[in-house]
Structures are given as C-alpha cells and as structure tokens.
Amino acid sequence: DQQVKQNSPSLSVQEGRISILNCDYTNSMFDYFLWYKKYPAEGPTFLISISSIKDKNEDGRFTVFLNKSAKHLSLHIVPSQPGDSAVYFCAASSFTSGTYKYIFGTGTRLKVLA
C-alpha cells in the first residue's frame, strides 16, 4: 500500500513558466513533508519542507503548499529553469509520533525546455 503517491511520472514545462508537481498521501499521522531533487548518478538532495502546522512554505523560486484535508501537497517552481530538470521526490514522516523514518513517493521527472 503506497502511503505517498506521485501520480505524474513526468512533466514538461517551458523555461520561465511555472512547474507544479503534485503529491498525495494516505497516512493522517504524517506531520512533516519534504521535497527532494535528484540528478542522474547522484544522491537525492533536500529542496524544501513543510510542517503540518503550516499550509505554505516558500524558499526563493520554490514554494510548497499543503492541504491537510485533502492529504495533498504540491511544489511550485517559478520561474522554471533548464537546471531544474531532474527527478523530484516527495517524502513524509511522522515525527510527533516518534517515527523518524521517511516514506517516499515514486518520483516525477521534470523536464524544463529551453
């Protein structure tokens, strides 16, 4: 049973436009959500996160939105740049229950077209 789902395996966006990557989760105990970026032949690198007490977190061109009632989060990249082309994973954890493991989605491959 996939607790964290990314239903879009791939996404193509023109340079300068907005990229929106989506993630859904099923476990209501999750209270911390993260996005990671992964380039080929490299390990995933942390991008941005959000706690369940917030509904938005912004860091430069990256914004994560959390809709707890819908169990849905999204990552917005504005403006998109060719260097953003990578696989993006969302992840979730439930720290307040004493569980520090991270459950990942299947990833979305973003291609930003110049």
Question: Rule CB under 8 A: which residues touch other proteins?
Answer: 6, 9, 32, 34, 36, 41-46, 49, 51, 89, 91, 95-96, 100-107
Nearest distance in Å: CB 3, other proteins: 9
Q: Name the minimum Å distance from CB 14 to other proteins.
A: 26
d(CA 72, CA 27): 11
Nearer to other proteins, 15 or 103 (CB): 103
* Cβ-proximal residues to 79 (8 Å cutoff; 6+ apart), any chain: 15, 16, 17, 18, 61
Name the residue nearer to other proteins (CB basis): 20 or 103: 103
In angstroms, what is the minimal distance from the CB of 73 to other proteins? 15
Which CB, 1 or 114, lies closer to other proteins? 1
Q: CB nearer to other proteins: give 62 or 104.
A: 104
Spatial distance between the Cα atoms of 85 and 39, rounded to a whole number of angstroms: 8
**Least Å from the CB of residue 78 to other proteins:** 22
Q: Token pair of 112, please?
A: 């930003």
Taking the CA atoms of residue 102, residue 92, residue 43 and residue 36 in that order, the dihedral angle to the nearest 10 degrees is -160
Burial class (CB in 10 A: 0-12, 13-18, 19+), 46: exposed
